[in-house]
Structure 1
């Protein structure tokens, strides 16, 4: 006995698949609930090729229905033959970005894991009703320095990686187009030696009170501004030993502060190194490492 398993993917695949199962069910004498009401033994002779016989003598299509958009699955379920399919065979969900995916895609080098978060739209409650929210508008806002939650200007550095998480009803195609547009227009603000360094995710459900929103997470070398500022403030206070006695009184040593300062300066230097790096330099660095290993 041979079985044929049908994979129905996307809106087109599922719409064609639904019509296919209507025709096949009619030919085999299967009604919309999966019960057999045929008038010929020939209809049952090879029925296991397309159907699996379940409990109660009902026939279930050997089909797996897949789509990122839950609406397509809803239309199949509410259609004339929706009860025919097994609920477990509906595979749907949204394009997502869990913490593991973010960690893998956002951290190209172990020490450079400090992100600049941002959010759009940032508008006053009173002006919300007068402002039209679109994907281009959200994209423009989320890359704006005024929308960043870290006190540093991304225009003073280069992006190693970026994650953009959109919420609300929008087209994935439009999101991809806007991300490509940003990279093409502002290529000097992205390192060229990490290709496809913008990760996107879309959730259909918007935040409460908004039609759509965007959360921005950027791994930018501009964050060294923040570390430089902290380092300068620390150095000025440490030179005068301000508040130091509170820490040494609890068992800490002055050398721990000196070491921490050195580590921060090394971090700033590493960010600057990758900001200035080019694709050619990265390639040469990789070749040198290969020679050393050889």
Structure 2
């Protein structure tokens, strides 16, 4: 069995992780509160060992390490469920205070050995480890600093295993912490050099989905965490249930990442509708395909039309015709050929799992590697540059042992990855990817959002 060890780091990472275990424990028939199996199908148990361990008393627990520099978050989770192993809670004595330097150099470094010991125990208990799954935010001190430290240690100790990161990206419009741009900037070198798959979860897009698509009055982050958990459940479907494509992390890596540095992926999910809105949707595969290529359903605030897709994958769940899915996905590529790079043939993949998610007859999860990610990365660079120009709040970092050159090195790394994406979208016929598609806009069908142009797919898309 190809097992995965999960590490959920910081407040955001633990909140997203808890929502993820809520979702997949139900899909595998495991009671979230007690850890007892109460499922009805043998398929639920066939690959349950990918994410869960079984005890001698036939109970299941999540193969996850819950990490934070302060104890309040992990204490709340320890009392909410028996799905978490008590020894796998690692907490420090003091918060990292939204400071990368404290998470990396001081408070985070103090608990690193304990994290690695717990991780080593879980790794030694499995038959065939395929990799690690890290859940964290890069806006806070623990999620950015401590995660960077842990990633460096994991790469050194387990060089043959893959690191998959689900990263919450801060948004200037939704920010509650003034130094978030610094923390995000300082996290980039670790993500570029140590992560193999980085799934970008943009706070701005997530809040927009709740406000625009679902018409939810935001009182907390519960709805956002559930959307992220549903998307993670879709991405890991083929790892957890029998399937043909992307049956392991390495297969996802091979299909989605053309060059090691270009591993920043855009996830999406459909349908993103309320129960009332669902009554008016068609519930067809064609509708799902239209929605996953719509910017309204992406978990990043980017426009696919402003870049070129290097690779894309659609993971479909529910009873549907494989032939119909393949035809529709191929049709999207053929109609929007200008929005795909021409140097990767057959760069759109599909996978189908018969088991639908809870409460839905069918769903689709999108994974895209697109040059349009440079707009998101440029947003991070611009935010940190504006503060660096005046050296605002810099003393909080230098006081914890950091040097100013670390900021400039991180900015250079971020600028390089933006240039790498920009160069990968260039056509071999000359000219940039964006300029080429813009020039042919008059007579080419170059819109990835064709469904929106032909009318709203469902009630939340109407603007």
Identify the TM-score tier after normalising by the shorter chain. Answer: 0.5 to 0.7
Give the aligned length.
Answer: 191
Output one character per residue of 1:215-266: Cα deviation in whole Å (capped at 9) or x when no partner: 0000000000001111111100111112211111111110010010011111
Q: Distance in 1 between matches of 2:301 and 2:280?
A: 29
1:157 alignment counterpart: 307
1:94 alignment counterpart: 243
Deviation at 1:270, TM superposition (A): 1.1
Q: Find the residue that maps to 1:246 and give its secondary structure.
A: helix
Matched, 1:106 2:256: yes
Matched, 1:206 2:374: no
Deviation at 1:95, TM superposition (A): 2.3
Deviation at 1:125, TM superposition (A): 2.1
Runs of 5+ in structure 2 lacking a partner? 1-42, 44-241, 432-463
Deviation at 1:200, TM superposition (A): 1.0
2:384 alignment counterpart: 234
TM-score for both structures, normalised by structure 2: 0.40
Q: Which runs of 4+ in 1 moved over 4 A?
A: none
Matched, 1:195 2:345: yes
Matched-pair contact (CA < 8 Å) for 1:168–1:204 = yes
Matched, 1:218 2:368: yes
Runs of 5+ in structure 1 lacking a partner? 1-69, 71-92, 282-294
2:411 to 244, 261, 267: 261
Q: Find the residue that maps to 1:130 and give its secondary structure.
A: coil
Q: Find the residue that maps to 2:333 and give its secondary structure.
A: helix
Q: Find the residue that maps to 2:279 and give its secondary structure.
A: helix
Matched-pair contact (CA < 8 Å) for 1:145–1:154 = yes
Deviation at 1:188, TM superposition (A): 0.5
Output one character per residue of 1:81-129: Cα deviation in whole Å (capped at 9) or x when no partner: xxxxxxxxxxxx5324221110011000111100111001111221112
Q: Find the residue that maps to 1:115 and give its secondary structure.
A: strand
2:52 alignment counterpart: none
Q: Distance in 1 between matches of 2:317 and 2:335?
A: 24
1:140 alignment counterpart: 290
Q: Distance in 1 between matches of 2:249 and 2:314?
A: 13
Q: Find the residue that maps to 2:312 and give its secondary structure.
A: strand
Matched-pair contact (CA < 8 Å) for 2:342–2:427 = no
Q: Distance in 2 between matches of 1:162 and 1:200?
A: 9
Matched-pair contact (CA < 8 Å) for 2:312–2:369 = yes
TM-score for both structures, normalised by structure 1: 0.62
Matched-pair contact (CA < 8 Å) for 2:314–2:366 = yes
Write out aligned runs for 1:9-158 (5 A): 93-97=242-246, 98-158=248-308
Q: Distance in 2 between matches of 1:280 and 1:250?
A: 48
Output one character per residue of 1:261-290: Cα deviation in whole Å (capped at 9) or x when no partner: 011111111111111132789xxxxxxxxx
Matched-pair contact (CA < 8 Å) for 1:117–1:149 = yes
Matched-pair contact (CA < 8 Å) for 2:317–2:352 = yes
Q: Distance in 2 between matches of 1:209 and 1:227?
A: 35
Q: Find the residue that maps to 2:369 and give its secondary structure.
A: strand
From the CA coordinates, give the structure whose radius of gyration is larger: 1
Output one character per residue of 1:44-80: Cα deviation in whole Å (capped at 9) or x when no partner: xxxxxxxxxxxxxxxxxxxxxxxxxx9xxxxxxxxxx
1:52 alignment counterpart: none
Matched-pair contact (CA < 8 Å) for 1:224–1:271 = yes
